[in-house]
Amino acid sequence: MALLAYMKKVYAAWIDYPLQEGKLLQAQYRILRFLGMGSYGLTYLCQDIRTGGELVIKQAKPSKGKLGRDLLQKELEIMQQLQHQSIPRCLAFFEENKQMFMLMDYVKGQTVEDLIFERGEKFLEKEALSLISKLMPVVSYLHMQGFVHRDIRIPNVILQGERIYLIDFGLASRIGDPNEYVEGEALQRRRVTEETSDLYAIGHFLLFMLYSTFETSEVHEESANGWEEELDLTPATKRMIRKLLQIEPAYTSTQAFIDELNTILQQP
């Protein structure tokens, strides 16, 4: 069994190897560089050789077979229903060499992950809360359209000056649908897709930013209560995070969270 599992991993790594830079897709889109690999897709920065413009192409992960193609098709269908300046547009969908691809707007900027781990950006409490307040109109719009993102993480939020973008809708789903594609802890939390799943993710998103200022020392002992003792936060922010993480009763709606967040930000 161990050998079989190992062989499956080797096969998946081989079949999911990214396409080469310079390769042309549809005789029009030249791959400039590989951007990254997610659970169900591979993403490339490409150039339209006819217009010179840059765009993103997402490929269904070959090792996922029909599941990967179904998820890419689902992502396409959801994105085509969304029209928001902070959500990239889905431009086209095509198949080549039995592989499925989706074309999207390219959003220049830096992810929150890049800011923290590459540039060493540190987010104080007010700064982290302010960034969340910029993100929430996008999340609220998504929820009002009847969808949840299900993958709000620091690599999926891009900052471009004062603009903020939410990307990667590969796990997005309609509110009320079965949580069929989410594995592990997330699946145990929610069998049905709900707004609170995004709010839970925002709680962890916020903690990632807040921990950017945390410094360990030789005399520091790991706290049994984790972030609540390790981070120097106001009581209001601690309570808000506890509700996001469902340690205390969760917010009854996305708007309820936004209202409390705005109240905290208005405090001196």
Annotated binding site for ATP: 58
109 contacts 165 by C-beta, under 8 angstroms: yes
Calculate the CA 73 to chain-centre distance: 18
Tell me whether residue 70 is one of the annotated catalytic residues: no
**Which of 16, 70, 151, 198 is an active site residue?**
151
Copy the structure tokens of residue 221. 């002992």
CA 88 to chain centroid, in Å, comes to: 13
**Nearest in space to 19 (alpha carbons), one of 49, 39, 40, 41:** 41
- Locate tokens 């405090």: which residue? 267
Burial of 252 (0-12, 13-18, 19+ CB in 10 A): exposed
Count helices and strands in the chain by DSSP H and E runs: 9, 11
Among the listed residues 180, 174, 245, 158, the one whose alpha carbon sits nearest the alpha carbon of residue 207: 245
Which residues are CB-neighbours of 264 under 8 A, at least 6 positions away?
A: 129, 234, 236, 237, 240
Active-site amino acid positions: 151
